[in-house]
Structure 1
């Protein structure tokens, strides 16, 4: 057995001793606070069935595109990492990860994986010489009852965990979990495939939606069907509707034009420009529905999905080749905000992946509109240095109260506490610097630290 190394209790905190001391005190206030995770992608079935995780490779490698994309960039085929239809030996997949572990130095993925392995009890450094030892160690741990999903949910101290669900999901899994866990598991309405004419099998999806709700094949019937499914989600505890869009573009159409456009996209004869207008109008309509039914509207914008056509054909979507693009929130959302930005009770959480939008657009928007909140750094940006840049870019304009609280946005269940802990350390470091520089008082920093992990996300997501 390789000698374990002790984790630095002050990891991610400032190097300056005086500032580090302030940060340490702030972090210790919130280190054990319950986890509020109002947006994520953990399948509800994991908790319903409480099935042990299959093996280390499936849990840490194959289904984590943060990991597979970087190994693939070094020349390793994705099928060697367990993706695709061919069966890959889990031990060989793990050996591949271990053999390329040096690639993850300094990355957030590497940090999370080390935290997860240490939490499992394996603190030796991953590498070619520890590949089999670590695989066997982790596999043995995952077979234990205390490492099954429900036991982990309780041990992680999760107060709220949101899943992401198809509008036609009957949500039976969520109904079965009601009262079965110490925290809440909430569904999230995610209608992208029913709103985007470029989504695979869009017309078929809309047809299923209309059939499931016995709605006519008209634009009014289509809106009524979406509203009905939103009500179904609300009855099962949903608090938000999430929208993943490449472009945060909105527009309002008169009923006649909306009907003609709806028929054109259903029949597959709409132009690219017309499809864009339809997407923009549907994002507008989703805001209108959120004003009416109270679901928090979250918008994750700025990612070009499936950049590699060859990879999409061979391995499908969500396999590591989604790439950020610049977007325009200010002009794109103006029609939506002109109509609903001042509406009482409307909450709109905007997530950007282009860091320049934080200070240029999102902080100024959230600093004026009562409905707008700044989504936490996500995907490529949910990392310590990115969080520090996010705080520096938004705080001077919008303060702390106009943010969403940390969002882990993950399917990697074991990484949830590692991600929240990382965010708490990064925020403690930022607050400590403000205290050390005389910009805020200690008691203000303490109140903000408490708020960021509890009251703020509960307030923004109406929990």
Structure 2
């Protein structure tokens, strides 16, 4: 039976009528505001080449770990879903892979992916029937026909989605050629990068050997000496700033920081370079490098994002066959108070530094993160992240953080996605949930409507712009250094 795709205008608003009415009014204030997407993992080559997307499977299924991890959990192989392995893209028929998604779409009931995908289907492609085995081919053909038109090329969608700023994420060993191509194209879309140095900081990362080689090539530095290594980071940070970067991003296993003496830090680095890698040394070096990155931020102004607490690539067999980032990252318990003490003791009161903290451990919200951000001027809290990027997760974040850190020690919303077409959906969810949360405060007479109307704009637009320094004119760092 073919069912209509019902996407209700009041989705995610409170069920109680008076509060829902207030939420509608607040949401109307921000519904059409531009999207600020200051942290994500979309592919900059899309916007550099502006080539048409290949097909529904290539665009919506194969790159989205939220989708294929659920299907994998039900015994469906990644190869059958056309997910890239170490051997390359499987020779799977794209239509058959899409049919697997369609026949199993019921698995996503109650998940944020259900909301995001149905938003894309109805609002982006104008589809009015529900995805199922019966409608699979209709979906596949309808989406592919749209993708073949100029209106669905990456730049056209960027403009249609009303994206003001979109940040991608690259490593220091990457050339940023796509960002240069975007600038040289004359297109007005604001696509910037973010500095993610993990591959040349984490000696337990299997990519580090080749990343170090590329790091040396692109900087011309002796990256196997301590001073040369630090200088190479400074050089690449400058190049990233020239490509629009306003932030660095650090995805460490823990939030540990360290403040070693210069000689100790150098000795640790040289030991690791020699191959004397242990788990303890690798962890201490990652901790020291958060402090080193913070010191560099004092000079160049990059906002630090710290994303700890994921046991990455937990499925060893899948790592061997398909490589990293295949939906097998698992959250773990994360401690912040002791972990951040060395960095905060050194730099926690310096107005030149700005650090945005994220967590996958929701038990730390009210116990650790909110009190830390509610005190230290350098700290702000990132939004509910990854496994908690959901209506319930967003509401838990507001409920547990606000009473101690307030709203203005948070940074609004960022989508942190590889799935380009889901960006408007994710931001719409955040705007609706925040509208509902503020509506409850108004209904309970804890805030008046005028305050809530000001605040919903701040949460949606003002705070992310301010936190990521997107409200400031950016100087060309190379020009400044040359002038000096």
Distance 1:181 1:421, change over 3 A: farther
Query: 1:60: which partner in 2?
Result: 60
Q: TM-score, structure 1 length as denominator?
A: 0.97
Note the C-alpha offset of 1:286: 0.8
Q: How does 1:302-381 map to 2 (within 5 A)?
A: 302-381=309-388
Deviation at 1:378, TM superposition (A): 1.4
Which residue in the other structure is 1:131 paired with?
136
Bigger CA drift: 316-325 or 205-214?
Answer: 205-214
With 39-48 and 205-214 compared, the bigger mean Cα shift is at 205-214
The residue that corresponds to 1:116 in the other structure is 120
Map 1:147-162 → 2, pairs under 5 A: 147-162=152-167
Instruction: Say whether residues 1:197 and 2:203 are aligned partners.
Output: yes
Q: Please state how far the C-alpha of 1:462 moved relative to its aligned partner.
A: 0.6
Structure 2 counterparts to residues 232-247 of structure 1, below 5 A: 232-247=239-254
**Is 1:295 aligned with 2:299?**
no
Any gaps of 5 or more consecutive residues in structure 1? none
In structure 1, what is the Cα distance between the partners aligned to 2:15 and 2:50? Answer: 42
1:311-333, Cα deviation, whole Å (9 max, x unpaired):
11111111110000011111101
- Residue 168 (structure 1) shift: 2.9
Deviation of the 1:415 alpha carbon? 0.2
Of residues 165, 168, 172, the one that matches 2:170 is 165
Shift of residue 246, structure 1, vs aligned partner: 1.0
Q: Which segments of 5 or more consecutive residues in structure 2 lack a partner in the other structure?
A: 471-484
Task: Name the SS for the 2:297 alignment partner.
Answer: helix
Match of 2:480 in 1: none
Tell me which of 438, 447, 456 is aligned to 2:454.
447
Kept in 2, the 8 Å contact 1:94–1:131? The answer is yes
Counterpart for residue 220 of structure 2: 214
Deviation for aligned residue 1:88: 0.8
- 1:230-309 equivalent positions in 2, closer than 5 A: 230-309=237-316
Task: Answer whether contact 2:415 2:426 (CA < 8 A) is retained.
Answer: yes
User: Is 2:415 the counterpart of 1:408?
Assistant: yes
Moved more, 354-363 or 387-396: 354-363
Mapped pair 1:388 → 2:395: yes
* 1:104 aligns to 2:87 (yes or no): no
Higher mean alpha-carbon deviation, 144-153 vs 82-91, is at 82-91
> 1:384-439 CA distances to partner (integer Å, 9 max, x unpaired)?
11101100011111111111110100010000000000100000000000100111
**Pairwise CA distance, 1:455:** 1.2
- Whether the aligned pair in 1 keeps the contact of 2:2 and 2:134 (CA below 8 Å) is no
Q: Summarize the Cα distance change of 1:143–1:450 in structure 2 as closer, same or farther, 3 Å threshold.
A: same
* 1:3 Cα deviation from its structure 2 partner: 6.1
2:467 is aligned to 460
Structure 2 residue aligned with 1:4: 4
**Aligned: 1:93 with 2:100:** no
**More deviation in 31-40 or 71-80?**
71-80
Pairs aligned (count):
463
Q: Is the 8 A contact 1:161 1:186 kept in 2?
A: yes
Q: Deviations over 1:231-264 (max 9, x none)?
A: 1111221100001111010111112222221111
Q: Distance in 1 between matches of 2:141 and 2:216?
A: 50
What is the DSSP-based 3-state SS (H/G/I as helix, E as strand, rest coil) of the residue aligned with 1:27?
helix
CA contact (8 A) 1:203 1:266 kept: no
1:186 aligns with 2:192: yes
Q: Aligned to 2:122, what secondary structure does the other structure show?
A: helix
C-alpha displacement of 1:344: 1.3
CA distance in 1, matches of 2:37, 2:244: 14
- Cα distance in 2 for partners of 1:450, 1:49 equals 34
Q: What's the CA shift for 1:182?
A: 4.0
Q: Are 2:173 and 2:211, in contact at CA under 8 Å, matched by a contact in 1?
A: no
Residues 258 and 284, structure 2, Cα contact 8 Å, conserved in 1: yes
Query: Residue deviations 1:322-366, cap 9 Å, x none?
Result: 000011111101101111111112110001011111111111111
Q: Determine the C-alpha separation between the residues in 2 that align with 1:5 and 1:228.
A: 51
